[in-house]
Amino acid sequence: MPQITVEKNSRTFKKDGKDFFYLADTCWSAFTNITIEEWEYYLNLRKYQGFNVIQINILPQWDASGTELNYSPLPYKDEKAKIFDFTEFNEEYFKHARLMCEIAKDKGFDLALVVLWCNYVPNTWASKMLSSNVMPYEFIEKYIGKVHETFSDLEPIYIISGDTDIDTEETKKYYLRAAEDLRKKAPDLLQTLHIKGRLDVIPEEFIDVIDFYMYQSGHNAENPAMPYLLAESFYTKYPAKPIINAEPCYEQMGYSRQMYGRFYQFDVRRAAWMSVLSGACAGITYGAHGIYSWHKIGKSFGMGLGEGFDSPNSWNDAIKYPGAWDYGHLKYMLEMYGVNELVPLNKVLNPTKDIRMAATKNLDEMFIYVPINTNIKVDEDLSGYDIKIIDLEHKNVCNPNVKIADGKTIIQMHNFEKDALIVIKR
């Protein structure tokens, strides 16, 4: 099977020798909460929408919704409190997880599997609040062996950490051990870290271990610039590798810190385009509140810990949120224009950083994301280019009025009601 690869000093992915744009959906709780029938329905729709990767937590997601299914990777030493006995494995769990992965692969998806979410590792923000299922260090070797045996021939990406702040030597020791053991067993499979929201720090010990960077701009409404600020940081601070915003705000997720409000279609679309045009051009991940935890009517949600998100709608409502189609449209647009790597440009002269601009290396195509309608002034003579404005809500296209003088271009306001993408083609 062709697998996703990264060439040295490249900011993009390849698969089977061709450019590959990583468009993932977040389904952290797949192995514990989803029936096979539901899984088939979910995958079919996401395939229609253009997704090609599914992000899943190998171990139970700590804030998954309640479920009547009885899938547990390990026996319990306290079943009521759901405390694991880290000795042996429940083979049926891994058979079920393997089957779900095989179904996804048969439908054309690649897998991005989280190895150790932060609550399973000591001295992370989550394990400090919920320490009952921290994995013993001596069990890591056995666990990694099981992960490799179950999944590696399916050629997944291994996301070594999940939502992790890597602040202590003990935490680093866990993740380095997991990464090193997997690298020995599956040397050709890509590895990365999924780090804590709004964080841009990768410990030096991991820079040469991981193959690409994941950040999460997250679900905090007080930080709307995070999608592009983090992309800029990773682009300028670290050696050249692919960059992905692997957890932007999820559609209809309640604002973090129990702040009243939710993110809607415009918000998640804004986060995607801002990320991709600011350095994180290798791909983007979508998330829907109610899908990542696979919520069902009448079931519990969350644990009252961490970011404290408001309740989700059920999965069969959440799967129909319109933002997923916008993410597929983003991928389609880049493929339609034959775009692989995008280089961020600082040529917009408007007094805001929220308008994002990027171009191909040869400057044959340029893109400007305009979240709020205004005249756009560009520090470039664009007289040799065709300029179109695409309404990102309804996908209508307009031919704008353009004025060029003194080596600068003014692209005049469109008359669409929401955000727009300006496409500039030589």
Do 395 and 269 lie in one domain? The reply is no
Which of 336, 357, 389 terminates a domain? The answer is 336
If one counts the domains in the chain, the total is 2
Do 360 and 287 lie in one domain? The reply is no
pLDDT(187) > 90: yes
Please state the φ and ψ torsions of residue 283, each to the nearest 5 degrees: 165, -175
Do 274 and 356 lie in one domain? The reply is no
CA gap 157, 334 in Å, rounded: 23
Do 289 and 384 lie in one domain? The reply is no
Do 295 and 349 lie in one domain? The reply is no
Average confidence score pLDDT of the chain: 96
Identify which of 225, 234, 224, 160 has the alpha carbon closest to the alpha carbon of residue 201: 234
pLDDT(276) > 60: yes
Do 51 and 188 lie in one domain? The reply is yes
Residues 290-340: pLDDT tens digits? 999 999 999 999 755 556 689 999 999 999 999 999 999 999 999 999 999
Residues 143-180: pLDDT tens digits? 999 999 999 999 999 999 999 999 999 999 999 999 99
Q: What is the mean pLDDT of residues 237-264?
A: 96
Do 331 and 352 lie in one domain? The reply is no
pLDDT band at 2 (very low <50, low <70, confident <90, very high): confident
Alpha-carbon torsion 148, 152, 154, 156, what sign?
Answer: positive
CATH number for 409: 2.60.40
Do 317 and 360 lie in one domain? The reply is no
Alpha helices in 111-225 (DSSP H): 125-129, 140-151, 169-185, 204-207
Do 315 and 363 lie in one domain? The reply is no
Which of 305, 336, 367 terminates a domain? The answer is 336
Do 74 and 214 lie in one domain? The reply is yes
Q: Is the pTM of this model over 0.85?
A: yes
How do strand 83-84 and strand 191-192 relate by DSSP bridges? unpaired
Residues 401-424: pLDDT tens digits? 999 999 999 999 999 999 999 999
Structural domain of residue 381, as residue ranges?
345-425
Do 28 and 147 lie in one domain? The reply is yes
Which of 297, 312, 336 terminates a domain? The answer is 336
Do 145 and 235 lie in one domain? The reply is yes
CATH number for 177: 3.20.20.80
